[in-house]
Amino acid sequence: MRRPLVRALSRPLILAAVAMVIPLASAAPAASDGVVLGGYPVDVSQSPWTVALSSRDRFGGMRSGQFCGGVAVGPTTVLTAAHCMGEEALGGPPERVSDLKVVAGRTDLYSDVGQEVSVRSVWVNPRYDRSSNAGDFAVLTLAEPLPAEAAIRMAGAGDGAYQPGGEALVYGWGDTTGFGAYAHTLRAAPVHVLADSLCERAYPGSSEGAYLAQSMVCAGEARGGRDACQGDSGGPLVAQGRLIGLVSWGSGCGRPGSPGVYTRVSDALRTLGWDVAARGAHRAPGGP
Ligand code: 4AZ
């Protein structure tokens, strides 16, 4: 569910209370140690393209102001989810968040290791559809460049990395339990790329969204357990060393039969008119 990040962040005490009760129930989540659920800790040097989006003014300084994930695809270009730049998350247009930053090279959000770079401009996909969640991506242009090795290659249409059954990794600092327990160190969870038909069946269309294979990628585990969750949005789904998805939505986190839904990077590239090899360096006229 593309639940507003803000709602979870503004009610941490309520969520904490729920989390204390749930382990006693039989319907406990399949895993409770993830990124991302069902994951493990990683050092950001293993995935230097994984960045945190930050606004201390809006989200507080505790966890470096982190509220979403992002992916460096060029020295000054970061992809994230459109819904991370929405009013529900930011309380207004992104231009009004004067301390919007990208945090790179910081595994532990409690530390000040790495780099914080101001966001110079935000381009939200004008075709992003809030009811289906189609086209859930935005492009951030940074005020200063990140180290060149921080950028990941994107997988274009027809890339084998989209093949169902393939292994992928999702990265983030998001909720590790589904109950509002936000990580402060980066985590990764191994998931499988799943057939579109699985997500089409799981998400035929509801208030949460509708799975559309052209613009979305289905990934997770049939048994549930490993999944992205709130706070991971906008972060990377990587297969065969290439970026195939951005964390977008799903019904809850890690539930059997409710896989994670990701923005299909090849479709974003097509919308942007970007050449895969150009890593976002070539802009379409009228684009970001
Ligand atoms: C969210 O609310 C969210 N399980 C992100 C990913 C998933 C669910 C919710 C996928 O940002």
SS3 labels along the chain: CCCCHHHHHHCHHHHHHHHHHHHHCCCCCCCCCCCCECCEECCHHHCCCEEEEECHHHHCCCCCCEEEEEEEEECCEEEECHHHHCHHHHCCCHHHCCCCEEEECCCECCCCCCEEEEEEEEEECCCCCCCCCCCCCEEEEECCCCCHHHCCCECCCCCHHHCCCCEEEEEECCECCCCCCECCECEEEEEEECCHHHHHHHCCCECCECCCCCCEEEEECCCCCCECCCCCCCCEEEECCEEEEEEEECCCCCCCCCCEEEEEHHHHHHHHCCCHHHCCCCCCCCCC
Q: Which among 67, 208, 233, 237 is the best mutation to test ligand 1's pocket, defined by most ligand atoms within 8 Å of the CB?
A: 233
Residue with tokens 């606004």: 55
- For residues 196 and 217, what is the distance between their CA atoms, to the nearest angstrom? 7
For residue 38, the model assigns a pLDDT of: 86
Nearest CA to ligand 1 atom 3: 230
Q: Is 175 in the pocket of ligand 1 (CB under 6 A)?
A: no
Q: What are phi and psi of 258, to 5 degrees?
A: -130, 80
- Counting from 1 in the atom list of ligand 1, the atom nearest the Cα of 37 is 4
For residue 287, the model assigns a pLDDT of: 60
- For residues 17 and 287, what is the distance between their CA atoms, to the nearest angstrom? 45
Tokens of 189: 């969870």
In one-letter notation, the amino acid at residue 156 is: G
- Counting from 1 in the atom list of ligand 1, the atom nearest the Cα of 261 is 10
For residue 37, the model assigns a pLDDT of: 79
- For residues 67 and 51, what is the distance between their CA atoms, to the nearest angstrom? 11
Q: Which residues contact 81 (CB under 8 A, 6 or more apart)?
A: 68, 136, 137, 138, 233, 234, 246, 247, 248, 263
- For residues 8 and 15, what is the distance between their CA atoms, to the nearest angstrom? 8
What domains can you pick out in the chain, each with its CATH number? 48-150 (2.40.10.10)
Q: How many CB atoms lie within 10 A of CB 165?
A: 8
Q: What separation in Å is there between the alpha carbon of 260 and the centre of ligand 1? A: 7
Q: What separation in Å is there between the alpha carbon of 221 and the centre of ligand 1? A: 15
Q: What separation in Å is there between the alpha carbon of 71 and the centre of ligand 1? A: 17
Residues labelled as active-site residues:
83, 136, 233
Q: Is 194 in the pocket of ligand 1 (CB under 6 A)?
A: no
For residue 8, the model assigns a pLDDT of: 39
Q: Is 260 in the pocket of ligand 1 (CB under 6 A)?
A: yes
Q: What separation in Å is there between the alpha carbon of 282 and the centre of ligand 1? A: 30
Q: What separation in Å is there between the alpha carbon of 4 and the centre of ligand 1? A: 10
Q: Is 133 in the pocket of ligand 1 (CB under 6 A)?
A: no
For residue 128, the model assigns a pLDDT of: 98
Q: Is 106 in the pocket of ligand 1 (CB under 6 A)?
A: no
Profile the chain (288 residues) by mean pLDDT over runs of 10 residues: 40 29 31 64 97 97 97 97 97 97 98 98 98 98 93 97 98 92 94 98 97 98 93 98 98 96 98 75 50
Q: Is 263 in the pocket of ligand 1 (CB under 6 A)?
A: no
Q: Is 227 in the pocket of ligand 1 (CB under 6 A)?
A: yes
